[in-house]
Amino acid sequence: MEPELIAFRERAAHDAGDVLVADPRPAILDFHAELAKRGIVLVLFPVPDKAMLQPGQLHGRVERDRPTPTARSRDWAPLVTELKRRGVLIFDPTPEQIAPGDEPRFLVQDTHWTPAFMQRVAAELATFVKSNAQLSAPPTEGAYSRKPMRVSRVGDIVDMLKLTEGQTRFLPQEVGISQVVDASGEPFQPSPEAEVLLLGDSFSNIFNEEFMGWGSAAGLPAQLAAELGRPLDVIAQNDSGAFATRVALELELQRGNARLAGKKVVVWEFASRELAVGNWKHIDWSKATSDGGSELAK
């Protein structure tokens, strides 16, 4: 939030021939205002980073006999205060401290969370949503159930090393996931008619989309639907959580797909690091409202 740092990032991008909006506040507040005009509640959900919750794996200095406070950007508290003052709801599952005996919250060779941590967060998120939005009565009880499965693979950190195929230095990690199935036994699928829309990045796609390599229908969208006991609409895209899903939503509206029709809540999930390094591009939502489309500002 420091003006000098914001100006530095934007100037560096300009010098490289790019356009970057470094301050996240205008985009968040603008999106919040646009949804509010439609009677939709925005829930902002920055997912804590692995380096925040498991810093010992980076620096090796682990307190073995007492908890340590979770590392936070010094701008986090002022940002939360400002956004809440403007009416934005913020869901933050970050623990206040890290205890020596805590179970790992992230996969061993991956930047993403474990199935167990993700599922706990989904339950907390569902409680937060139900406490802050007036949803209709859910469908009959038992709309979703969970089916345990085992999956294994090396993580995305190993992928980024670009090692030769068949390498054995880093072996796959096996984890248990809970695939969410509907009353007919079919794996969870998003429903465009749902009252809740989840905008997400790879933290939503992992365990949910087959292409991630960690199973399917078992990630944040599926678990949130199961915890809410109701269908869920989803727009998720890996990377660039600061703007990618807002752009995807805007394009849906431009094409005449009423993805916000009947919505009461939009949960905007993105990696918390986006607040510091993301590109918070402006979208002219007024044009999306008046003539069905808009253009990203250049």
Locate all alpha helices (DSSP H) within the chain, ordered by sequence: 3-15, 25-37, 50-53, 56-59, 76-85, 115-132, 156-161, 202-205, 220-228, 244-254, 274-277, 285-291
- Quick: pLDDT tens for 228-264: 999 999 999 999 999 999 999 999 998 888 999 999 9
pLDDT at 292: 40
pLDDT-derived band of residue 290, with 50, 70 and 90 as boundaries?
Answer: very low
Beta bridge pairs of residue 175: 151
- Let me know if residue 38 belongs to a domain: yes
pLDDT at 295: 40
- Quick: pLDDT tens for 167-204: 999 999 999 999 999 999 999 999 999 999 999 999 99
Q: In what order do the strands lie in the sheet with 233-236?
A: 89-90, 41-47, 265-271, 196-200, 233-236
Q: With beta carbons less than 8 A apart as the criterion, state whether 12 and 234 touch.
A: no
Q: Of 87 and 68, which is predicted with more confidence?
A: 87
- Quick: pLDDT tens for 109-163: 999 999 999 999 999 999 999 999 999 988 766 689 999 999 999 999 999 999 9
Could you give the dihedral angle defined by the CA atoms of residues 271, 277, 280 and 281, in that order, rounded to the nearest 10 degrees? -120
Q: Is 121 helix (H, G, I), strand (E, B) or coil?
A: helix
Q: How many domains does the chain have?
A: 1
pLDDT at 195: 96
- Let me know if residue 298 belongs to a domain: no
Residue 266 pLDDT greater than 50, yes or no: yes
Residue 26: is it exposed, middle or buried by C-beta count within 10 angstroms (0-12/13-18/19+)? exposed
pLDDT-derived band of residue 57, with 50, 70 and 90 as boundaries?
Answer: confident
- Let me know if residue 121 belongs to a domain: yes
Query: What's the whole-number average pLDDT of the chain?
Result: 92
Q: Tell me the average pLDDT across 2-21.
A: 94
- Quick: pLDDT tens for 16-44: 999 999 999 999 999 999 999 999 999 99
**Phi first, then psi: what are they for 9, rounded to 5°?**
-65, -45
- Let me know if residue 174 belongs to a domain: no
Please tell me the distance from the alpha carbon of residue 162 to that of residue 289, in angstroms, as a whole number: 45
- Print the domain residue range for 95: 3-60+75-99+109-135+188-291
- Quick: pLDDT tens for 121-135: 999 999 999 999 999
Residue 68 pLDDT greater than 90, yes or no: no
- Let me know if residue 256 belongs to a domain: yes
Please tell me the distance from the alpha carbon of residue 2 to that of residue 145, in angstroms, as a whole number: 47
- Let me know if residue 92 belongs to a domain: yes
pLDDT at 140: 64
Which of 43-57, 67-81, 202-216 ranks highest by mean pLDDT?
202-216
Strand (E) or helix (H) holding 265: strand 265-271
Q: Is 235 helix (H, G, I), strand (E, B) or coil?
A: strand
Q: Of 210 and 293, which is predicted with more confidence?
A: 210
Q: Which of 176, 181, 269 minimizes the C-alpha distance to 225?
A: 181
- Let me know if residue 183 belongs to a domain: no
pLDDT at 296: 39
- Let me know if residue 153 belongs to a domain: no
Please tell me the distance from the alpha carbon of residue 5 to that of residue 1, in angstroms, as a whole number: 8
Note if the pTM is more than 0.75. yes
pLDDT at 297: 34
